[in-house]
Amino acid sequence: MKMTNRFLNEEIDFKLLTNGAKCYITPKAGFREKQAVLSVGAGSSDFKFLLNGVPTVYPVGIAHFLEHKMFEAPEGLEDRFSAFLSRGADVNAYTNFYSTSYYFTCQDNFEENLKMLIEMAQTPHITEESVEKEKGIIIQEINQYADDPFWRGALGLLDALYFENPVKHDVAGTAESVSAITPALLYDCHALFYAPRNMVLTVVGEVNPGEVFDIAEKYINQRGTAPLAERHSPPEPEYSRLRENAIELGISRPFASIGFKDDPREGDHASALAAGKVLADMLAGPSTEFYSDLREKGLIDDACGIDYAAGRDFRYLTLAAATSEPRALGDALCGRLASAELPPEAFERAKRKQLGKTLRIFNNIGHTALAQADLLSHGKTVFDLSDAYEALTLDDVERKRRFLSAEGRGAMSIVN
């Protein structure tokens, strides 16, 4: 099936493979670089689920741990990174709250690299010795991030916003949870989540869609009879768990992360992203008077940023900044959200700005593939996001502003 978008002037070829995997290809004539992303619908939030109706809990961070171990090759064979490098490809992976993605970029040997990527994601080679070694590496990574004010502030905000939602946990887990991971648990996690029906392949570049579909159909194998885990997200109240979350790091200037909890059930993912990002830009984007006023008062610096984040079962508006007066900044943003007038001309500027960002995604192969893969984790494409921006109205943005400004939905994390 071919999808087109007149505004973006791009095409996407889609096929639901007989093995259950989904395949999306964005042909880009004239680009030498090609990128493939194989995403699995299992992220850091998927450590609690129902298996055959029975509540099951894995150690927090197991999805991220498994991502690391998928690069391990059988003893005596070339390691995965070297194998891709020898074929002219850069390979990497990442885990977020809702998915794990493996990807490579190359100019030549695309078909061979694609086969290797698919094979790698389907054939774990995990030993007791390698798991124990990896525990030390990941715990060291966790400890390094523990000294990062931005990271600690972001996690502190999520902990303040949410009661039970697993998004409040670090993607990598904790030293304690990582220590509890075993080879058997990793193999079980792979069997449950790395099934073809839980995979999405995204390809961008000058490729033949039919040939890519054939490779995906042949090499993404239907394996076993393991049931796909049923996600179980506990209900979340609309209000935040804490008003303020204080974290001590001993830094010279406090860092504030301020957020407002949105309803993940309201509208589809693309529409929510469009409304949230336009609202964020209208409230405190760099071109607003409010932003300039905060700068003049010394409440923020150039590193201040406001954004809207959305995932499978969470959505929130957030502003993060180093500031000598975090509570004053929080009060200012709360007041702005509660009483802001949203002029039509400012709405049109913000909407055009976001549409322009969406259009520019397609100027870069890597940006296109990774943005597409992220949206596909929520059943949407970049085309859907573009359409959502075009359909967005000022009433939509105003309605989101009123919801977010309601009493009890705000929270703040202060790193001192």
- Which of 200-204, 227-231, 344-348 has the lowest average pLDDT? 227-231
Q: What is the mean pLDDT of residues 167-173?
A: 95
pLDDT over 70 percentage in the chain:
98
Contact 14, 24 (CB under 8 A): yes
| Residue 223 pLDDT class (50, 70, 90 cuts) | low
- What homologous superfamily is domain 244-415 in, according to CATH? Metalloenzyme, LuxS/M16 peptidase-like (3.30.830.10)
What is the sign of the dihedral through the CA atoms of 347, 349, 350 and 355? positive
pLDDT in tens, 108-156: 999 999 999 999 999 999 999 999 999 999 999 999 999 999 999 999 9
State the pTM of this model: 0.93
In eight-state DSSP terms, residue 166 is: G
What is the sign of the dihedral through the CA atoms of 194, 195, 199 and 203? positive
Domain with CATH 3.30.830.10 in the chain: 2-231, 244-415
| Residue 76 pLDDT class (50, 70, 90 cuts) | low
Token digits for 132?
Answer: 């124990």
Which one, of 370, 364, 26, 29, lies nearest residue 206 by Cα? Answer: 29
pLDDT in tens, 22-69: 999 999 988 999 999 999 999 999 998 888 888 889 999 999 999 999
pLDDT greater than 90 at residue 210: yes
What is the sign of the dihedral through the CA atoms of 406, 239, 157 and 160? positive
- The whole-chain average pLDDT of the chain stands at 92
The structure tokens 């990002």 sit at 277
Q: In this predicted model, which residue has the larger pLDDT, 232 or 353?
A: 353
- What number of other Cβ atoms are within 10 A of residue 61's Cβ? 26
The H helix count followed by the E strand count for the chain is: 15, 15
Which one, of 199, 143, 144, lies nearest residue 23 by Cα? Answer: 199
pLDDT in tens, 382-393: 999 999 999 999
Provide the CATH topology of domain 2-231.
Answer: Cytochrome Bc1 Complex; Chain A, domain 1 (3.30.830)
Q: What is the pLDDT of residue 60?
A: 96
Q: What is the pLDDT of residue 224?
A: 52
Q: What is the pLDDT of residue 171?
A: 95
Query: How remote is the C-alpha of 380 from its chain's centroid?
Result: 13
Contact 85, 78 (CB under 8 A): no
Query: What residue spans of 246-343 are helical by DSSP H?
Result: 269-284, 289-296, 326-339
Token digits for 193?
Answer: 């989540």
Which phi and psi (to 5°) does residue 356 adopt? -65, -40
What is the C-alpha to C-alpha distance for residues 299 and 104, in angstroms, rounded to an integer? Answer: 42
Residue 246's beta-bridge partner residues?
414
Q: What is the pLDDT of residue 168?
A: 94
Torsion of CA 279, 285, 288, 289, to 10 degrees: 110
